[in-house]
Amino acid sequence: MPVDASSRIEAVYADVLRRNPGESEFHQAVHEVLHSLEPVLRKRPEYAEAKLVERLVEPERQVLFRVPWTDDAGEVHVNRGFRVQFSSALGPYKGGLRFVPDLGLGTVKFLAFEQIFKNALTGLGIGAGKGGADFDPKGRSDAEVMRFCQSFMTELYRHLGDHTDVPAGDINVGGREIGYLFGQYKRLTNRFEAGVLTGKGTGWGGSHARTEATGYGTVHFVREMLASRGEDLAGRRVVLSGSGNVSLFAIEKAQELGAQVIACSDSSGYLVDEAGLDLDLLKEIKLERRGRLDTYAEARTGARFSTQGSVYDVACDIALPCATQNELTEQHAVVLVKNGVKAVAEGANMPCTPYAVEVLREAGVLYGPGKAANAGGVATSALEMQQNAARDSWPFEQAEGRLAAVMRDIHTQCVAAAEEFGTPDDYVLGANAAGFLRVADAMRDQGVV
């Protein structure tokens, strides 16, 4: 009996809503993927018959735990930690940890679900997970952050291992936090298991180009999208949201490829510099002083800082949302299209709302979804794992060369899958279908587990 793909997808989604109440971001991520998979299931009904989709939307394991710690004044605080281990079909669970005060299980689950397809697209042997805590390191001393990280790892370590689960950094979890987490893992296990965390310092097992990888990778993906239409980045006006690591290194790579990057943002507002952003000044303010963008405008003639409107109000050829989920709304997309945007690529996880994506695609704008466009970070994390396994360290040029090759391959996979399933230039369907096929084939091979 032939599979009714549409009815099967509707039934799976209804079950997701029932079993995961109130987790709107997870619902959004699942809905996008399931919608993309209808033509796949029609063409390959054996995947539906094996209930692969039903199994794929349910995490293999969800870990929630208490994180008690003391501040510098001796006061006790209690936070909540999370790790969602979603899929190990292709390798050990892999995905970042973020420390943000409003983090909840639904957000972690959505991020881990997206990671399944992103990690599969890299072509490397990594599964999918995500985690973190509802802790805000901003304003905390190094000693407080260290004590929090040690308490967090004291619970999480039993679920990790270089063949089990390999976290990395994410929002508010950088080199400092990874160092504290690794130190506590080593202390608890009595093992220098370098491959258990990625994003480490380059002097003790980290990979060159890891800090730059997500931002660089996003720009590499944009370059491939433009090349598919016989265009390039030279002379293009670019705006970005955010001004953290992803944005800063996206700016660096875009400028290197000849683009004119004119605007970025932070939580206080957005900055416009029509002469092109001074990256050295921006890095000094953000990475060294940990300051706000209004400081840049005060220091540079011709630059302006605004707390009104949005960075997406600035006319541009290319927009790179690199901050957080659902930041680019339908209204922003309408303005971007009106101002002539040619391409939008996600440097963050699901920063465009579904209605924004619809506006962009209907206008013929090239749109690179995060699971493809920002896969450079996790790809380089997997390459760090390779180096750790061999007790090797590659020079920066080799690491970046591998990153560029992975991003080209991801673009090729997306284009090929979109064409195979009847929607050329649809990078959303292409990314979801290509990632799904790789995971689904592994799941079939491994039986009902």
- How far, CA to CA in Å, does 427 sit from each of 308, 324, 423, 433, 444? 32, 20, 9, 10, 25
HSE-up of 445 (CA within 13 Å, CB side)? 9
Residue 367 pairs with which residues in a beta bridge? 344
| Number of residues in the chain | 449
Phi and psi for 339 in degrees, rounded to 5? Answer: -85, 5
List 413's β-bridge partners, or say none: none
Q: In this structure, what token pair is assigned to residue 112?
A: 């881990």
If you search the block for the tokens 């560029």, which residue do you land on? 404
- State the angle between helix axes of 354-362 and 330-338 in degrees (0 to 180), rounded to the nearest 10: 20
Cα separations in angstroms, 196 against 87, 283, 332, 393: 17, 29, 40, 16
Q: Computed from CA positions of residues 193, 197, 201, 207, in that sequence, does the dihedral angle turn out positive or negative? A: positive
Q: Is the dihedral of CA 120, 383, 97, 353 positive or negative?
A: negative
Cβ 198 vs Cβ 385: under 8 Å: yes
- Could you tell me if residue 358 is left (phi over 0), alpha (psi between -120 and 50 degrees) or otherwise beta? alpha
Q: Torsion angle of alpha carbons 40, 45, 51, 55, nearest 10°? A: -20
Catalytic residues: 130
